[in-house]
């Protein structure tokens, strides 16, 4: 009989393929879902790391059976150059030459990018992505950080360039200017390594490598191998040397050949979105990488708790997921997800 574990220890053990006392459940709770739990507009959490931290803590009070959450990107005052209120929300200029459109009750998105050259000096100097998450983590009560799995984010270098320069420009460059794109990604690596060092000082339960732009819905496995995998390996190795588990998040589809590449990356866990068949992923990657996922977030919004409970139980019985698995949503929970459905997932994990 395995002794009763803390949520953090249980989840970390699962990531490392070790025995656990029960199935861990860590829905991908971040800004969109946590804000209404606190009773705040989503924009307040996106623009204020302290409020984001309060909202995440509120989720643990509301859902005592879950084992943790994920800290996602927020804008810190330190990187905001200007903020203008509009009829529908906020228009925010930040370092890195980005303009963000932030609706009153939604997360922000980049609406304009100043960087057009892969040799722009700001690719080597500006990191608008790390301050907000670091401030959020520091604002969390230390007891939460010790007790729960707090996935602490570090955006991958490829996805950083996509944010800074725009999806269209980066996707085109994978074909028309691969050398320029590689130069741009190389410029991000020292900033990414420094970000990991700052996270390590906060005793993170895990470091969440965000590579949303590396989806097979957007790039081919060959492009993944050229523009993502080498940098992912560097991140995973550094995180491993620090003794911290790494969780790779990729949005949307992951092609079979991309799964093969991920298995060589050195990451401890793949957080897979709902289009990924976990039985196939386990068969393809073997036990080298744990899996976290992957209930459909739309289903979680639209379906009754009884169905979510049944789907969770079915997922946990997937061949190959007997160990090295964390029950979760496929991507970030939507703002309108019924809390009863989060509880249904957690109860399914508890019941085993």
70 pLDDT above the threshold of 60: yes
Determine, yes or no, domain membership for 83.
Answer: no
pTM of the model: 0.95
CA dist 168 and 81 (Å) reads 25
Q: Is the pLDDT of residue 347 over 90?
A: yes
Q: What is the pLDDT of residues 193-250, one digit of tens each?
A: 999 999 999 999 999 999 999 999 999 999 999 999 999 999 999 999 999 999 999 9
Domain of 64, CATH number, reads 3.20.20.210
Q: Would residue 81 count as lying in a domain?
A: no
Q: Is the pLDDT of residue 67 over 50?
A: yes
| pLDDT grade for 61, boundaries at 50, 70 and 90 | very high
Contact in structure between 97 and 113 (CB atoms under 8 Å):
yes
**Three-class HEC string of the chain:** CCCCCCHHHHHHHHHCCCCCCCCCECCCCCHHHHHHHHCCCHHHHHHCHHHHHHHHHHHHHHCCCCCEEECCCCCCHHHEEEEEECCCEEEEEECCCEEEEEECCCCCEEEEECCCCCCCCHHHHCCCCCHHHHHHHHHCCHHHHHHCEEEEEEECHHHHHHHHHCHHHHHHHHHHCHHHHHHHHHHHHHHHHHHHHHHHCCCCCEEEEECHHHCCCCCCHHHHHHHCHHHHHHHHHHHHHCCCCEEEEECCCCCHHHHHHHCCCCCCEEEECCCCCHHHHHHHHCCCCEEEEEECHHHHHHCCHHHHHHHHHHHHCCCCCCCCEEEEECCCCCCCCCHHHHHHHHHHHHHC
Residue 308 lies in a domain: yes
pLDDT score at 326: 98
Residue 316 belongs to some domain of the structure: yes
Per-residue pLDDT at 47 exceeds 50: yes
What is the mean predicted confidence (pLDDT) over 252-261?
Answer: 97
The 10s digit of each residue's pLDDT in 97-134 is 999 999 999 999 999 999 999 999 999 999 999 999 99
Between these two residues, 161 and 3, which has the higher pLDDT value?
161
Whether residue 235 is contained in a domain is answered as yes
Domain hosting residue 43, numbered range: 7-76+114-351
* 2 has a pLDDT exceeding 80: no
Give the per-residue pLDDT at 324.
Answer: 96
Burial 224-245 (b: 16+ CB within 10 A, else e): bbbbbbbbbebbbebbeeeebb
Q: How many domains does the chain have?
A: 1
Distance between CA atoms of residues 238 and 139, nearest Å:
25
Asked whether residue 101 is domain-assigned, the answer is: no
Residue 88: inside a domain: no
pLDDT in the model for residue 307: 98
User: What is the band of 3 on the pLDDT scale with cuts at 50, 70, 90?
Assistant: confident
Residue 1 has pLDDT above 60, yes or no: no
Average pLDDT over all residues of the chain: 96
Q: How many CA atoms lie within 13 A of 213 on its CB side?
A: 22
User: Residue 210: its pLDDT value, please?
Assistant: 94
Assigned domain for 283 exists: yes
Q: At what angle are helices 157-165 and 229-241 packed, to 10 degrees?
A: 130
Q: For position 280, what pLDDT does the model report?
A: 97
Q: What is the mean pLDDT of residues 46-72?
A: 97
């Amino acid at each position: 009989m395995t002794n009763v574990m803390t949520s953090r220890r249980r989840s970390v053990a699962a990531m490392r393929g070790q025995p656990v006392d029960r199935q861990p459940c860590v829905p991908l709770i971040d800004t969109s879902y946590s804000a209404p739990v606190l009773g705040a507009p989503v924009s307040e959490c996106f623009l204020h790391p302290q409020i984001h931290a309060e909202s995440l803590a509120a989720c643990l009070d509301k859902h005592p059976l879950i084992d943790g959450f994920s800290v996602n990107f927020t804008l810190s005052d330190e990187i905001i150059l200007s903020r203008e209120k509009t009829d529908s929300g906020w228009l925010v200029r930040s370092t890195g030459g980005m303009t963000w459109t932030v609706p009153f009750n939604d997360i922000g998105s980049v609406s304009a990018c100043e960087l057009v050259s892969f040799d722009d000096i700001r690719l080597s100097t500006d990191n608008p992505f790390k301050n907000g998450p670091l401030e959020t983590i520091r604002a969390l009560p230390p007891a939460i950080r010790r007790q729960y799995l707090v996935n602490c984010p570090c955006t991958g270098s490829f996805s950083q360039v996509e944010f800074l320069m725009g999806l269209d420009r980066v996707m085109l460059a994978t074909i028309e200017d691969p050398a320029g794109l590689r130069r741009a990604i190389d410029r991000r690596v020292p900033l990414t390594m420094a970000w990991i060092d700052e996270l390590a000082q906060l005793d993170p339960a895990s470091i969440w490598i965000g590579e949303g732009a590396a989806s097979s819905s957007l790039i081919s496995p060959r492009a993944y191998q050229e523009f993502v995998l080498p940098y992912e390996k560097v991140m995973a190795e550094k995180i491993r040397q620090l003794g911290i588990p790494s969780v790779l998040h990729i949005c949307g589809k992951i092609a079979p050949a991309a799964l093969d590449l991920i298995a060589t990356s050195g990451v401890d866990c793949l957080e897979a979105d709902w289009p990924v068949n976990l039985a196939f992923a386990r068969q393809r990657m073997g036990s080298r990488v744990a899996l976290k996922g992957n209930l459909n977030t739309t289903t979680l919004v639209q379906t009754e708790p009884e169905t979510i409970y049944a789907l969770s139980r079915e997922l946990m019985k997937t061949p190959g997921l007997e160990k090295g698995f964390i029950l979760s949503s496929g991507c970030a929970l939507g703002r309108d997800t019924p809390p009863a459905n989060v509880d249904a997932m957690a109860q399914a994990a508890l019941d085993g």
